[in-house]
Amino acid sequence: MRFRIGNGFDVHRFSDDPDRVLVLGGVAIPGERALHGHSDADVVAHAVAEALLGASGLGDLGRLFPDTDERWAGADSLDLLAEVMRRVHDDGWEVANVDCSVIAERPKLAPHREAMEVGLGRVVGAPVTVKGRRAEGIGGLGRAEGIACFASALLTAAD
């Protein structure tokens, strides 16, 4: 069996735009400060996509969906992830699993974790786990200036 492992990372600062909605792992979380970004700024979906692209050797989000291209302004990151999955499959890979660690002082992820895992798993076609971590007051993440996510993906060669 051939397999490949990829790691992904994304980070976004919080936005001051009251019209933006916080989206994590494809789940809108009302009542929380949104993240700043060209798309919906979903750090979890972005980190997952980066891990999949890294494992498959198909580039990165910035190359595929540059923030200088207005077509991607406000894009739903699950749509971007679906396009990444299309490319991964076209290149002969299947996803075995993806694991994510979200670093955030807020919001609490526990009430949203299952919905994130189900939604991401539906797009990826494999199990996705999401874990919450705090930065314990250290640095910008610890001061609640934004949210970051690390993801790892395992791909296997399609039969």
Over residues 61-106, the pLDDT tens digits come to: 999 998 888 888 888 999 999 999 999 999 999 999 999 999 999 9
Taking only the tens place, the pLDDT of each residue in 140-157 is: 999 999 999 999 999 999
Main-chain dihedrals φ then ψ at residue 26, nearest 5 degrees = 80, 5
pTM over 0.85: yes
DSSP H helices in the chain? 43-56, 61-64, 77-90, 113-124, 139-142
Q: Partners of 9 in the beta sheet?
A: 150
| pLDDT score recorded for residue 67 | 84
| pLDDT score recorded for residue 86 | 97
| pLDDT score recorded for residue 55 | 97
CATH of 3-157 given 3.20.20.10, 3.30.420.40, 3.30.1330.50, 3.40.1380.10: 3.30.1330.50
Q: CA-CA distance, 150 to 9, in Å (whole number)?
A: 5
Q: 11 burial class (0-12, 13-18, 19+ CB within 10 angstroms)? A: middle
| pLDDT score recorded for residue 66 | 85
Could you count the other beta carbons within 10 Å of the beta carbon of residue 113? 18
Taking only the tens place, the pLDDT of each residue in 116-134 is: 999 999 999 999 999 999 9
| pLDDT score recorded for residue 122 | 98
What's the pLDDT band for 22 if we cut at 50, 70, 90? Answer: very high
